[in-house]
Amino acid sequence: MDREEFRLQLEGWRLTTAEVLYYMPDHPTLIQSFVWQTLDLAPRYPRMRQFLDFWKAEIEAVIHSVKLASGEELAPARVRAATQFSLMN
């Protein structure tokens, strides 16, 4: 991971995955799937919006739907103190 990605994660950017279902231009009755990942900032998702705007402007395939999944923010490890433990032989 480079420094820029790490900095973005510290600022709340998360790994975001989009599955774009689209109609194939030459076969409009068929739907194809395209998966794309990037670091993005919820809830506005500026990079994802930029990608979808580019798609609409430059790619002939018409989008049917988009599924979006986003990972957790980068955070310190969570540690809990054990209240009880036992050693078994």
pLDDT averaged over the chain? 84
Count of domains in the chain?
1
Per the CB < 8 A criterion, the answer to whether 39 and 15 are in contact is yes
Strands (E), the chain: 14-23, 31-40, 62-70
Domain membership of residue 22 as a residue range: 3-70
pLDDT 10s digits, 22-53: 999 999 899 999 999 999 988 899 999 999 99
Task: Let me know if residue 65 belongs to a domain.
Answer: yes
Task: Let me know if residue 33 belongs to a domain.
Answer: yes
Residue 64 has pLDDT above 70, yes or no: yes
Q: What is the pLDDT of residue 11?
A: 81
Task: Let me know if residue 61 belongs to a domain.
Answer: yes
Percent with pLDDT over 70 in the chain: 79
- How far, CA to CA in Å, does 29 sit from each of 56, 71, 88? 19, 33, 64
Task: Let me know if residue 84 belongs to a domain.
Answer: no
Q: What is the pTM of this model?
A: 0.71
Structure tokens at 21: 């279902």
Percent with pLDDT over 90 in the chain: 51
